[in-house]
Amino acid sequence: MMKTTVALAAALFAALPALAQSQLTVVNFGGANGAAQKKAYVEPFEKATGTKVVTVEYNGEQAKIKAMVEAGKVTWDVVEVESPDVQRGCDEGLFEKMDWAKVGNKADFQPAAVTECGVGAFVWSTVLAYDGTKLKDGPKSWADFWDTKKYPGKRGMRKGARYNLEFALMADGVKSADVYKVLATKEGADRAFKKLSELKPFIQWWEAGAQPPQFLVAGDVVMSTAYNGRIDAAQREGKKLAITWAGGIYDLDYWVIPKGAPNKELSMKFITLAASAAAQADYAQNISYGPTNNKALAKLKPEVLALLPTSPANSKDSLRFNIGFWADQGEALEKRFASWAAQ
C-alpha cells in the first residue's frame, strides 16, 4: 500500500520541482498516532517532494497557535487539532480557509470531516472495553456495563461529565439517536446523574488515555470506558482486550493551517495527500482510527475494517460527540459532576 501512496504523491506533486529543498513543520499528538502518520503521510510526502518534514508533538494547546498568529511569527505549517478547536479557531481567525477544490470531492468524505478551516484527519471513538480472557461472554451494551450482578467488579470511567452522562442515558434505555435531545432537558440530566449514582460505588476513575488498558490488564477493573486507539495499541502488543462498539461515541481530529503559515501551498499539498483514500487506508492499517475519506474503506481488508469506528458494523449504533451541546451546557454539567463525584 505504501508504494501506491508514494506513486499517488509523486503524481500529485509532479509539477512542483521548485519546492524540492523546502521544509514543512507538521504538528500532532505523537504516540502511536504520530508513528502511524509518519508511515502513511510523512514518509511518502518526503519521497514524492524532496521536502523535509519536521514533526512536532504537542498536547492540543490552541493558545500556542493563537500566540504565534497574533505575534505574526507563525512557525507551524500543518497542525492536528481536536474537534472543539477547529470551529473556535476558525471563528477567531486563527486558521487559513481550506481550499476544498485542491483537497478533493467533498461528497467522498464523512460529512463531519468537511469544515471551512479544517479537513477531518481521522475518526476515533470512546468505547466499552473489557479483558476477553476474564469475560468469555462479554458485555453487549451500556446496560450490561451497569449490571453489577451479572458482571461483578469495578468499572473504569473517565473522570468528567462528558461521555459518562451519554453512556448513563443509553444504559437507562435511551436510544443513541435521542441521547442529546434527552440530555438537553433538566429531567434528562437528572436521569443521567441518577443512573450514574447507581454505579458510583463500583467506579474507578481514570484521567489519562493510557490508564484503561493498564487497569484492565492488571485486573483492577472488569470493564472500562476507553479510547479505541489505546485498546488497539494494547491488542497489537498481544493483550487480549476486547471492544463492545454498541453505543460508542465517536469524534474527529482535523488538519488545519495556522493563519500566516510560512508554506501555505506546500501545507495544502500535505493535507491533500493525507486526505487521499490510499494514504488514509495506509494509516488505518497502522492504527485503528477510521478514515474520513469513505473511498479508503474499499481498500481495506475485512480484518482491518472490523477494528475501525467507521466500519458499517461498528458505527451502526454509535453516537457522534455533540460539540455544540457541550459548548452550551458543558460548564454547568461539569460543575454538577464535580460536586456529585466529591459527595
Segments of the chain assigned to CATH 3.40.190.10: 2-123+251-314, 125-250+317-342
Among 142, 312, 135, smallest CA distance to 244 is for: 142
Pair type for strands 203-206 and 241-256: unpaired
Distance CA 53, CA 265 (A): 14
Q: Which residues of the chain have pLDDT under 70?
A: 1-21
Handedness of CA 139, 141, 146, 147 (dihedral sign): negative
User: How do residues 286-318 score in pLDDT, each as one tens digit?
Assistant: 999 999 999 999 999 999 998 999 888 898 899
HEC string for the chain: CHHHHHHHHHHHCCCCHHHCCCEEEEEECCHHHHHHHHHHHHHHHHHHHCCEEEEEECCCCHHHHHHHHHHCCCCCCEEEEEHHHHHHHHHCCCECCCCHHHHCCHHHECHHHECCCCEEEEEEEEEEEEECCCCCCCCCCHHHHHCCCCCCCCEEEECCCCCHHHHHHHHCCCCHHHHHHHHCCHHHHHHHHHHHHHHHHHEEEECCCCHHHHHHHHCCCCEEEEEHHHHHHHHHCCCCEEEEEEEEEEEEEEEECECCCCCHHHHHHHHHHHHCHHHHHHHHHHCCCECCEHHHHHHCCHHHHCCCCCCHHHHCCCEECCHHHHHHHHHHHHHHHHHHHHC
pLDDT at position 32: 82
Q: Which of 204, 195, 190 is nearest to 170 (CA)?
A: 195
CATH code that applies to domain 125-250+317-342 = 3.40.190.10
* Cα–Cα distances in angstroms (integers) from residue 225 to residues 11, 103, 160, 247, 321, in the given order: 43, 35, 12, 11, 15
Residues 6+ apart with CB under 8 A from 185: none
| pLDDT of res. 268 | 97
Q: Under CATH, what is the fold of the domain 2-123+251-314?
A: D-Maltodextrin-Binding Protein; domain 2 (3.40.190)
Quick one: pLDDT at residue 136? 86
Q: Find the length of the chain.
A: 343
Tell me the torsion sign for CA atoms 107, 111, 115, 121: negative
> Which of 254, 252, 232 has the alpha carbon at shortest distance from 310?
252
How far is residue 231 from each of residues 13, 69, 128, 227, 255, measured CA to CA in Å? Answer: 36, 36, 10, 7, 24
Give the pLDDT of residue 69: 97
